[in-house]
Structure 1
């Protein structure tokens, strides 16, 4: 009769086809039980992968742990004696690896610490601290694997323009955060170099269920790389100086009416010249000077005929827009950037006969200027550029940054 069962119990079990056996008392020590349990984990790995665990930074942390553990089991005679009867896969007779210098009394926790894994962290054994995963290594290799950009001349003006806009305060750099987006037409800073995402292929879903896409990334040193979007994201996140370059959101820059508590900042003015210069006379109806002032306009224009900025001639005010709580210089730079492709190319001599090239006159119809200011007001201007050929504001093409302005 099985130990712990009555005759009735045995009879019932027999009818059910269950043979009750007395539980055997284990004669193994706790240490031997741990040795066997650890070896069985290695055996399960071999069954799943068809090979013994191996060393290497590109290996999964569990595999590396099993590989070191197997080395120790092979080296220690008392361990071999315990598990040899269980070694149906021939693991103990496999090729002997080079000595690792691991202390004989090291436990798994200490071994994990040496491998760069802290088992007390929320993620436990699966989280690496100092050991780069295979994915991290692949991302780093993609970033490092650059080649010469054969058509860099097409992109060089973009980098120059972005640098000017950063200097003028029209763009800012911000830390690249985990949720930041990668998109064509955008600029980033990686490893101290500006990076421009020129194109993005059709996004796909990878084996982990994440959206990814192949990019063409141009760097300001004249090189390029075909990166995966997630590789670029990872590199920007891991770079302490990784940044994204963003345009300032115009927002409600100004209004025709100020609200309570607003402080006046100045006026956007649009002027038309009365000069008899042939280049001016030929385009008088569409030639306008656009400026911003914090003072009285009349005083600003009092000596226009003596100022090459005003083409050494009298001017008339054709439009004004009062603004509140705004950086005047930044706003003026923004307006001039929008209409940069239509800037008048003219040289005027000042009253001393010295040549001067005015920079604030543009061949733009008044109604387009008014439309641009409305778009600045509602914050949508960053999606538009001025097209001199059609004399209108047009939406930017996807992945295209305006070179001229």
Structure 2
């Protein structure tokens, strides 16, 4: 154990000609202590993100603060000399000195330069008008955006989609979690609006199993401001959910097939109708609640079904109108083909004889629940019906690429 010398010991050693030198650590000024503490925050950022902090309005406010602070430290020789012994990551060694004033600057002044004010009690950890930790985490979910080196090849796409939106060829629809927006609804070549920027899904990698057991994929997403990010499909989905202003951009070929309300200059085009048969055919009787006729007419539905019991198309029986949807500015023939394509896997296989004994196979009857028909109508409304088909095995609408 080290022995501490008393005053008497010091006196005795002095008589023997031995000088006792007390080893003192060099004291640092408050400014130096603050410079080191600030540099340690930058080091923690580099450890966490694997890169120095960067400038940019799309960056987190703390990253922007660290980047300005780092520029200041690099510009001052006395700061470099002080920090060199601590710079085990080489943050300063590889830096190009940035000219700047020699005077010291506080974090409050840095934040003021960045446009952030109202600091509670001068505490840098208690910022107002700055995103919360949860908000920061949400931003990190869409990955760090970087400059898109080949943005010139994508720029015409953004110009074209903006032109389509302005002209009405494409429409945008809000994304709502409760509406059932799934990861599988995000495909290569699609456009979204996220954080005020148009986002283009340029690439989708092969799907893999995530730690939670769900399928996921890595995306390359290009943004209209010339940046890009490499992120997971589920991360983009979460980011779209959390952004209350996020929207999905429709395909130009789909467009608004019909709307719930017609404008003054809209022309009525017809009606989608869903019918249920009153036939005593054994097949119909056994599945009456599931068997529906789905059609489109330009006239009055009541007149269309007036002579149902004489028409083989209606199974030579009276029918009950289950649902109708009014159409505006729509090609009825094209829409009917889309609907029948979607439900083709559940088309009813039935043959009846007409009044003259000739065999007839009706083609507009389907074994499908009414709630799925309603779902299909909603997808027609928001222009997302393209690429969907009904799966009888699961009683769900599914994208064709997701079928085994």
TM-score (norm 2): 0.40
Report which of the two structures shows the higher radius of gyration computed on alpha carbons: 1
Larger relative contact order (C-alpha < 8 A, sep ≥ 6)?
1
